[in-house]
Amino acid sequence: MLEQIQRAFREERPETQCKYGVTDAGDPWTAFHDAANGSPVAKIARIGAFYFLIWADETFVRATSLSRFLDAVRHGRAHAA
Whether 23 has a pLDDT exceeding 70, the answer reads yes
Q: Are 49 and 62 in contact (CB under 8 A)?
A: no
What mean pLDDT, rounded, does the chain reach? 87
Whether 2 has a pLDDT exceeding 60, the answer reads yes
Residue 77, pLDDT score: 55
Q: Are 66 and 75 in contact (CB under 8 A)?
A: no
Mean pLDDT of 26-46: 93
Name residues whose C-beta falls within 8 Å of residue 30's C-beta, 6 or more positions apart in sequence: 2, 5, 6, 18, 19, 20, 21, 43, 44, 45
